[in-house]
Amino acid sequence: RMQSAVPELLDLKGESEATRKLYGLDEPDTEEFGRQCLLARRMVERGVRFVELLPPFRKGIDRWDQHGSLESGHRINAKAADRPIAALLKDLKDRGLLRHTLVVWGGEFGRTPTAQLPDDGYVKEVGRDHNPSGFTMWLAGGGIKGGTIYGETDEYGYFAIKDKVHVHDLHATILHLLGLDHTKLTYRFSGRDMRLTDVHGNIVREILA
C-alpha cells in the first residue's frame, strides 16, 4: 500500500500557488523546511499517525545548537522555520485537522542566559551552552488550550522555579492527549513492568482545552 500511495503523496503539483507561497516554497531560506511542513500536512490528511520534522541544515550553522555565533545562527534558523511552521498550523486549522492533530515543538534543552566563548579559534561571536534547567516548548491543536503560558523561570531565565514540568509530566500529558493512560502503558524489562513516565509523571491539566 505504501509503495502505491507515496508517489502521489510526494507530488506537490496539485498544490495551489497560494499554498506554496504560504509555506515559503518560493523563497530559498524557507523552501526546505516549508516542503517538510507541507508534506506533513499531506501525510496527516491521508491518515498518517506520527510525523517528525527536522530543522533544515545550513552549511556552517548548527541546528539550534549555537555554542558560538548564537545571534547570527539563531536568526538564520528562525528565518528558515517561522514562516513554514506558522503555515502548517494555519493550514491544519483551515482544513479542520488541527483539533485532531497534536503539534509538539521543542528540543531536549534550552540555552543558558550566560554567554559561552567559542574555543575553536575561528568563531568570534559568543554563544550559549546547554541549559536543561529551564526552557520552553510549545504545543498546539489536539486538545491543547491555545494561548496558555504555563511555568516560570527565575529572573535570569536559568532555572524553572514555578509550575515545573518534568519530562515525565510532558510524556504523561502527550499520552493523555493521544488517548492513552500513562500509568497502564508498560513494557517488561528485567522482570519488571516499566513505564515511560517511571513512577512519576502527572498530566498538566492546566494546558488542556
**Is residue 175 situated within a structural domain?**
no
**Is residue 208 situated within a structural domain?**
no
DSSP label at residue 63: S
Q: What burial class does residue 27 get, using C-beta atoms within 10 Å of its C-beta: 0-12 exposed, 13-18 middle, 19+ buried?
A: middle
Sign of the alpha-carbon dihedral angle for 30, 117, 125, 128: positive
Q: How many CB atoms lie within 10 A of CB 61?
A: 19
| Contact present, 201 and 169 (Cβ < 8 Å) | yes
- List, in sequence order, every residue forming a beta bridge with 65; answer none if it has no partner: none
**Is residue 127 situated within a structural domain?**
yes
**Is residue 172 situated within a structural domain?**
no
**Model confidence over 152-185: pLDDT tens digits?**
999 999 999 999 999 999 999 999 999 999 999 9
**Is residue 24 situated within a structural domain?**
yes
Least reliable range by pLDDT among 17-21, 69-73, 147-151, 175-179: 69-73
What integer pLDDT is reported at residue 108 of this predicted model?
92
**Is residue 170 situated within a structural domain?**
no
What integer pLDDT is reported at residue 62 of this predicted model?
79
Average pLDDT over residues 97-113: 96
Question: Looking at the 3D structure of the chain, how many domains does it have?
Answer: 1
| Mean of all residue pLDDT scores within the chain | 93
pTM of the predicted model as reported, rounded to 2 decimal places: 0.90
**Is residue 203 situated within a structural domain?**
no
Least reliable range by pLDDT among 27-36, 56-65, 135-144, 160-169: 56-65
* 199 band by pLDDT with thresholds 50, 70 and 90: confident
Q: What burial class does residue 108 get, using C-beta atoms within 10 Å of its C-beta: 0-12 exposed, 13-18 middle, 19+ buried?
A: exposed
In terms of residue numbers, what domain contains 123? 2-164
Separation of alpha carbons 138 and 71, rounded Å:
22
**Model confidence over 42-91: pLDDT tens digits?**
999 999 999 999 988 877 777 888 888 889 899 999 999 999 999 999 99
**Is residue 71 situated within a structural domain?**
yes
